[in-house]
Amino acid sequence: MAVKPLLTKHHSLARILLLSFISLLLLPFFTFQASAQQLTGRSITVSTASPSVAVTHDFRFTYVSTSSVGSLVFEYCDNSPLPYQPCNAPPGLDLTPATLSSQTGNTGFGVDAIDTTANRLVLSRAPAASTATPSEYVITGFNNPSVPSSTEFIRIATYATADGSGSFTDNGSVAYATTNPFLVGAFVPPFLRFCVGITVASNCSSASGNSIDLGDLSASHASSAQSQFAAGTNDTSGFSIYSLGTTMTSGNNVIPQLNSPSPSIAGTSQFGINLRANSSPSVGQEPSGTGSAAPTANYATPNSYMFSDGDSIAASTLPTDFNRMTVAYLVNVSAGQSPGIYSTTLTYMAVVQF
């Protein structure tokens, strides 16, 4: 019965020896872990996430220890933020031309060009006690790493020495991601919006009517009517609008067209149009809209009418928003005008060059 306690004792001793051995193995690790404090509130703001382009890195963090600090080290790694892991330098990164453009909080640092390497930036100062305050360091003068869609870790550490050597005091890591520029694409097609009708909306969203009845023509007074068109274009040279057709006819009988701008004369056979608001007779409206189109000269004088097949009656020399124009029709007949039903078909055409 005395054997069992002895076995228990041996078992316990073996366990103790094993634990002691493991503890000894782990001791350096634990000691290392316990020696450093974490910088708090750590962040990095990059001016651009695009690979291989000039960049500014704005580091912010709060010191924890108040012991002497002679250097700050920013070590860039693309594999791990942990300080006891090997560091793989991000491809394309070269910190040697980096400069410290501003610093706040714990200040007095400058770039240690001797100890700075391609992926390890050392900021140095005469060793002095640090304060546990938020600090900011803006680094510029270098390019982002070249690999897109990659997470870059920066291991930040404070050192008592002025050259980033020895054991660090406080440390912590930050991270940012390189991303390719994101593109938004769209296509704007050539636009020519043109509509014709008795009435049209100012933006061509509607148009109605395609026929005018002037009633019985009389030698004692002018007959008149109106129609509208609207147009807009993004053609850089604008557009021209033409009227195509003939004067009013009835078989072989013709109401003569006005070949030059002329006033309305009752009792004289004449047919013409213009694009203005007229008082003699009262017909038509002024052009409207924010566009730059305008009636051409022969059709731009109130109370002055003209018609010529194929004439440009309105134009813009620039891209233009919508303009709505009202075509005023004037018909006078003489007492000797042959009776009949007179009519004509006019076509309006907008031309752009793109």
Partner 1 sequence: MQKTMPSKHKSYIKRAQLFGTVLILAIMSLTSLLVTGNAGAAQITTRSLTISSGVPSASSQTYTYGFTTATTAAIQSIEFEACTTAIGTCTGPTGQTINAGTEASRSGWTNATTFVRNATGANGCTPAANVLCLDRTQVAGETAGARTLGWNTQTNPSTANVAFFIRITTYSDAAWLTSVDTGTVASAVVQTLTINAAVAEILNFCVGSSIVNDATTSIATDCTGVSGTSVNIGTLDPVSVNVSPINTNGGDNKNGVAMVRTNASNGTVIYYDAIQQSGTNHLGTLRISGASCNAGSVSTDQCIDAQGATQAAFTPPTEKFGMTIGGTNCGSTTSYSCVYASGTNNLEPSTNYVGAAANAYGTSNGFAWVESGTATQIADTPGATKVIDDEALVLRFASISAITTPFGSYTAQADFIAVPTY
- 9 near partner 1, rule: CB under 8 A: yes
The reply on whether position 25 binds partner 1 by CB under 8 A is no
Helix (H, G, I), strand (E, B) or coil at 70: strand
Q: Which of 293, 281, 259 has the alpha carbon at shortest distance from 328? A: 281
Which residues, in sequence order, are CB contacts of 263 under 8 Å at separation 6+?
Answer: 280, 303, 304, 305
Contact 259, 212 (CB under 8 A): no
Does 70 participate in binding partner 1 (rule CB under 8 A)?
no
- Residue the block writes with tokens 């609207």: 230
> Should residue 140 be labelled a site residue for partner 1 when binding is judged by CB under 8 A?
no
Per the listing, tokens 């980096």 go with 98
- State which of residues 99, 102, 167, 179 lies at the interface with partner 1 (CB under 8 A): 179
Q: Kindly state whether residue 317 participates in binding partner 1, applying the rule CB under 8 A.
A: no
User: Of 35, 180, 282, 347, which lies in the binding site for partner 1, with binding defined by CB under 8 A?
Assistant: 180
- Give the pair of three-digit tokens for residue 72: 């700050």
CB under 8 A: which stretch of 109-117, 118-126, 177-185, 207-215 binds partner 1?
Answer: 177-185
Q: Which sign does the torsion angle of CA 74, 80, 84, 90 carry?
A: negative
Stretch of 126-134, 170-178, 244-252, 340-348 lying at the interface with partner 1 (CB under 8 A): 170-178
Judge residue 165's burial from the number of C-beta atoms within 10 Å of its C-beta, 0-12 exposed, 13-18 middle, 19 or more buried: middle
Q: Is 101 in the site for partner 1 (CB under 8 A)?
A: no
Sign of the dihedral defined by the CA atoms of residues 87, 91, 97, 98, in that order: negative
Strands 150-159 and 134-143: unpaired
**Is 177 a binder of partner 1 (CB under 8 A)?**
yes
175 makes contact with partner 1 (CB under 8 A): yes
Is beta strand 120-129 parallel, antiparallel or unpaired with respect to 54-62?
Answer: unpaired
- Interface with partner 1: number of residues (CB under 8 A): 67
Residue with Cβ nearer partner 1 (261 or 289): 289
Binding segment for partner 1 (CB under 8 A), chosen from 18-26, 67-75, 221-229, 302-310, is 18-26
Residues 218, 222, 225, 231: is their CA dihedral positive or negative?
Answer: positive
Instruction: Tell me phi and psi for residue 335, to 5 degrees.
Output: -65, -25
What gap in Å lies between CA 2 and CA 190, rounded to an integer? 104
Stretch that binds partner 1, among 67-75, 319-327, 331-339, 340-348 (CB under 8 A): 319-327
Taking the complex as a whole, the smallest distance from the CB of residue 117 to partner 1 amounts, in Å, to: 22
Contact region with partner 1 (CB under 8 A), list: 28-36, 101-109, 277-285, 335-343: 28-36
The first and second tokens of residue 185, run together, are: 């694409």
Window 238 to 267, contacts with partner 1 (CB under 8 A): none
Q: In whole angstroms, how close is the CB of 3 to partner 1 at the nearest point?
A: 10
User: Judged by CB under 8 A, does residue 151 bind partner 1?
Assistant: yes
Return the range that interacts with partner 1 (CB under 8 A); candidates 91-99, 134-142, 171-179, 343-351. 171-179
Q: Are 76 and 92 in contact (CB under 8 A)?
A: no
Residues that bind partner 1 (CB under 8 A): 1-2, 5-6, 8-9, 12-13, 15-16, 19-20, 23, 29-30, 33-34, 41-50, 60, 80-82, 149, 151, 153, 172-177, 179-191, 193, 203, 205, 232-234, 236, 291, 318-322, 354
